[in-house]
A and B are shown apart, each in its own frame.
Chain A
Amino acid sequence: MVDLVTVEVIKGALIYAAEEMGIALRNSAYSPNIKERMDFSCTLFDHQKRLEAQAEHIPVHLGSMGWAVREGLDHFEGLLEKGDMLLFNDPYISGTHLPDITLIAPIFSEEEVIGYAANKAHHSDVGGKAPGSMAGDATELYQEGIIIPPVRFVKCGEVDRELSALIMSNIRTPEVRLGDIRAQVAANLLGERRMKGLAEKYGIEVLRETMTQVMDYSERMMRKEIEKMPEGRYEAEDYLESTGVTDELVKIKVAVTVRKDGLKIDYTGTSGQAEGPVNAVFGVTLSGVYYVLRCLTDPSIPMNDGGYRPVEVYAPKGTVVNPIHPAPVAGGNVETSQRNVDALLKAFAQIVPEKVCAACQGTMNNVAAGGTDAETGGPWTFYETIAGGFGGRKGLDGVDGVHTHMTNTMNTPIEAIEGVYPMRFLRYELRIDSGGAGKWRGGVGVERSWKLLSPSATLSILAERTRLAPWGLYGGKSGMKGEFLILKPDGTEIRLKPKCTVKMKKGDVFVARTPGGGGYGNPLERSPEEVSRDVVNGLVSRGSARKDYGVVMNPETKQIDWEATRRLREDSA
């Protein structure tokens, strides 16, 4: 046993090292997606390929990192030596989608592997049929981009030029990609230095033993949390509204079994794998489970292999939550992962009703656009995700205009976009009446729109919750559904499907309106003052105040008509 204080110190140092890797990656990356939006994760593993420390960046990578490193190393048939790094993006190995490129570096101390540094970053293009590699209508993995199995991208400290050339030839903006991959290499080098430093300072044995103890500690803490939950089997289901290829509903069915000795999550009954890209590889499904667990348990439990030991996840092969190669998967990360969380939270609402929230916007609203630059003749690709409403919580309204659950990427400043891309933004604002009515209102979504300035472009959307609204809880109403439009210069309005790839022409305006969160509790119990404040702030219309909340506002004075409100609420009750 290593003494408790040393354990605490080394644990802190490893978590800090993972965070430091993230800073190195962000600082030296090229693409806005990594630099500004921080769409990446950095981790350290022990010599047995067990996750030891993870920097908190993107939840969708949470479960998949542990998976990726184990699978990536197992699938690689060669020998990893000092100074080598393994690169891959095959979703069925890496546990997320093709744009997430994973890089693993073994860490040696005195000729012995003491652990691994690994990171994963979302690249804004990895080839495939649509710019941005997020085609909403792909039917097989091959259309989604270049597939890279685990290969030694870095050999003895040098990037393999031939391999690099092969990969870059399959990608739309190779310069930027290479810059970003270099940043990933830098991050791993830093993680390696830090872990080696700890091995030198404390000795390999102490380091190893400490890592095991930290994992055991997380396991102990997690078991205590599970013991607090009422035993039983709790079921829930939720739906994706289309596969991207067809408009059929895709069911995610989950049964959570709580026993004193652990949790079992069973996806039996979930729809079979889809023709379109909404399939979520198992790593993504795991991420959803781990995310929900972290939200509902003590947040100070260190995120590592041990914390997940008391949790068993079963997803039948060939379903949308555990597809078989070569089913397309680009949207599994971004959309199915969100619905998975919705289904899980619905189940946990029966276990810990105080702790869950109503449905959040439930989509990441992926928008990718690209084309040929009119001035330089070179290609351009633009990718972003758009915030929406957070679900209402007990005692708290949902957050307005924010990314929810499985993603947390930043927006790209309009003042950074317009200087580089042929786009002009017209609107970026909160969307009135989109938050689900409730005692605690759902957060509102946003409207973001821009005009295309170049002759033409290809636009891809990958989104959800345009047919099935985010649900409310305990009497709260649903949030407003999302919508995507193209407004032609002649005034015609084209309503887009939530998963599509279309052409845009110069002067066309793209409008995204994102969903609001569901409400929590009966809206008639919301205090009239709060409803009135929302009306004054333009987040709830007077009509909705009356219809949904039973609050009558005097249009002249903008004050509450208390008498009319009392009568209306009595009648509605």
Chain B
Amino acid sequence: MAVYRVSIDVGGTFTDLIGLDEENEELINIKVPSTPKKPADGAIKAFQLFLESVKPEKVSVVTHATTIAVNALLGQLGLEIPRVASVSTKGFRDILEIGRQRRHELYNLSIQKPRTLIPRQLRYEVNERLSARGEVLESLNKKDVHALAEELKQRAVKAVAVALLFSYMNPKHEREVEKTLNEAFPEISVSSSSNVAPEHREYERTSTTVVNACLIPIVSVYLNNLASKVRKIGVNAPLCVMRSDAGLATREAVVEKPVSIVESGPAAGVLASSFYGERLGIKNVLSFDMGGTTAKAGTVQGGKPELAMEYEVAGKIHSGRIIKGSGYPVRFPSIDLAECSAGGGTIAWSDTGGVLRVGPISAGADPGPACYAKGGEEPTVTDANLLLGRLNPNHMLGGRMRLFGDLARKAIEKEICEKIGLELVEAAAGIIKIVNSQMAKILRIVSVERGYDPRRFTLTSFGGAGPMHTCALAEELHISKIVVPPSPGLFSAYGLLTANFTCNFVQAIMATTEKIECHDLEETFGMLQRRGEETLAAQGVKPENMQFLRQLDMRYFGQGYELTIPASVPLTDRSLQQALKGYHRKHEAIHGYAREEAPVEIVNARLTAVGLVKKPKMKEQRSCGKKPPKEALLTKRSVFFERPGGFEETPVYLRERLKCGNFLSGPMVVEQYDATTVIYPGWEAEVDRFGNIILRATEGG
């Protein structure tokens, strides 16, 4: 009897579902339009379609990626931020509102801070104080806390965030507050900073705790509702959710710590890239995802997706990076992405100075690009691709959707050509060149800026629009190898099937290496590991499937930023020396110098507990020879390339008909249900045994 693992990825435009038959590795793919106002509905719709061919009891597990958390913080979908209170050390309730005291735009007299998630009237204080080393300077005033519990009952809050100064060095007072509130008020949830993000820097820690408290009511309602709907259609399998660090957690665990899933959606794509890399024997991968409104880039280095320890939720983006201060900081490991407003629907325009500009505004799915004939009159990246012959007007979604070239032309002529005096082709090619340069930037952010040479990386290209732009981007970064997976539009949903369970623990250390005894550090790691074992066991992971990764956050004493370095099991004087060496090397790689003689401070000990999940095998095919079958060649058409001469007569193939081992030279176009791959002159394509198209540059690039 076949057993299916099901993944559901709810995106802005489409909800994707993949069912993996664990016995024969067959995949069932479903794509339905998303239902942004009620995201669970789209997911259930996809599930119902899936259950037309599979019995519900055959589903063993459901894994899910969702944007509910970030959408709530962006104020979307009518998701109201619930009424939440905070508790601070006396004198410091405004840390949340003052933040880092800077404005995120300099030359804007209408600047506003992001709305503070807890209004001042609900920010409470208690008398207590710890020192920087965690010693109690002033005991917690219990009376304050009891009075507070009464007050909070009156104010009908849904959740409470507790963040006291220096609690990461000593959680005693926070635990006391939490205990008293829980006893007095069992129906609300209390988030303590020493639990959610026990790290120094009061604003970031407080913000993380507050975001967590605000999300608990929203995420728990959403996931519980989804789980009950899944049960209603007969599926009794556990529901697991993708976290920002590309690990899974059960619904029950996520509901406790929803701050862990703010980047749930994009994480799955990078994870899929890392899984493909592993199967193909590629350790260093740049992951590139381009959809309808945004492009996202991530790094897989040494087989692992790169994580950032801090992320700003709902922040504004400028040149690929989130502008500091424009969102809500969250200290939780999250896939380190760079993104920009560049997708098929991104609008091109001409400014008053006579310059062609692309983005950041997108025509979205509605009205969409001009060529969709849904009322959009502004030219988009998709319109440009259509005019340049890259897109087939009759093959969108396997022919279910027609594109209108005359509307695309009209839009570009009216908005670009007439306004700044460019020829039609110049304008269309210009749009592509500019959007490519923006996307090259985000790829640079995740490679060059992190000290990696992109020439040593393979690019994975996915999302509906990714494979169309991939050759140009690879050339820009001198990357010579690209992988286009079999279903680029479902790649993120596939990533969900490859995820392990993870949970993270952190303990502040705040001491230089000379002052640290290794056995103390070993003890700390041991304590974290026991917590990891408990957490994983509670999610049903067996001991033999548990793995533990240790890391140290280190910096030169006096520096303000840390680097995260792997640490060994067990930790000995010698291995600590090795970690130190690793730190100097990484500092040199990223910042250009190391100071081996300077004292190094260990800021935090981190432990990631991993619960291994059986991976899909990826079905292999046997080679059918280099020559593609005749019926794979659909037609020839004139396609524009950024080469002398411009347009070139180019063969067009149907992806579904290409076979393993087929070998082709660019220029060519490969069309499939949900994506089009444009292969430039100077590139060769080969279909590998897993059905990937592997592109290799034949020229110097």
A-to-B contact residues, CB < 8 Å: 3-5, 7-9, 12-13, 15-16, 19-20, 23-24, 26-32, 35-36, 56, 59, 176, 179, 182-183, 186, 189, 217, 220-221, 224, 291, 294-296, 298-301, 355-357, 386-387, 390, 393, 395-396, 399-404, 408-411, 413-416, 418-420, 424-430, 446, 536-539
Contacts and interface: CB of A to CB of B under 8 A. Distances in A.
Interface string B96-124: 01101111011111111100000111000
Contacts of B438: 12
Contact of B98 (A404, A416, A430): A430
B352 A536 contact: no
24 contacts: A5-B429, A5-B430, A5-B433, A8-B434, A15-B319, A26-B561, A29-B560, A31-B558, A179-B558, A179-B595, A186-B591, A217-B354, A220-B353, A295-B107, A402-B101, A403-B102, A410-B100, A411-B98, A418-B131, A418-B132, A425-B92, A429-B91, A429-B94, A430-B94
Interface string B78-106: 00000000000001111101101111011
A429 B353 CA distance: 45
B102 A537 contact: no
B591 A28 contact: yes
A5 B100 CA distance: 38
Contacts of A401: 94, 97-98, 101
B74 interface: no
Contact of A4 (B94, B133, B422): B422
Nearest to B166: A415
Interface stretch (B49-57, B144-152, B197-205, B257-265): B197-205
Given A4-B356, A30-B559, A35-B559, A413 B201 contact: yes
Interface in B433-462: 433-434, 437-438, 441, 444, 449
Given A27-B590, A393-B109, A426-B91, A16 B98 contact: no
A446 B93 CA distance: 12
A291 B112 contact: no
Contacts of B92: 414, 425, 427-429
Interface in B122-176: 131-133, 137, 165-166, 168
Contacts of A356: 109
Contacts of B311: none
B328 interface: no
B583 interface: no
Given A12-B438, A23-B449, A416 B591 contact: no
A304 to B, nearest CB: 13
A220 B593 CA distance: 43
Interface residues on B, range: 35 or more
Nearest to A537: B120
B521 interface: no
Interface in B226-283: none
Nearest to B422: A4
Given A3-B426, A23-B449, A428-B98, 6 more contacts: A7-B355, A30-B559, A59-B107, A176-B558, A217-B353, A300-B351
Q: Which of B102, B166, B422 has the most CB of A within 10 A?
A: B102
Interface string B191-209: 0000000001111100000
B136 to A, nearest CB: 14
Contacts of B420: 4
B593 A399 contact: no
Contacts of B426: 3, 5
Contacts of B119: 537
B202 to A, nearest CB: 5
Given A5-B356, A12-B441, A295 B166 contact: no
Nearest to B93: A429
B640 interface: no
A213 to B, nearest CB: 10
Given A224-B353, A428-B98, A429-B93, A299 B131 contact: no
Contacts of A425: 91-92
A116 to B, nearest CB: 19
B106 A59 contact: yes
B356 A24 contact: no
B402 interface: no
B494 interface: no
B357 interface: yes
B102 A402 contact: yes
A291 B121 CA distance: 36
B543 to A, nearest CB: 37
A58 to B, nearest CB: 8
Contact of A537 (B108, B121, B422): B121
Given A189-B592, A299-B107, A357-B109, A32 B560 contact: yes
A299 B101 CA distance: 22
B312 to A, nearest CB: 14
B510 interface: yes
A357 to B, nearest CB: 5
B103 A399 contact: yes
A323 to B, nearest CB: 26
Interface string B349-369: 001111111000000000000
B645 to A, nearest CB: 16
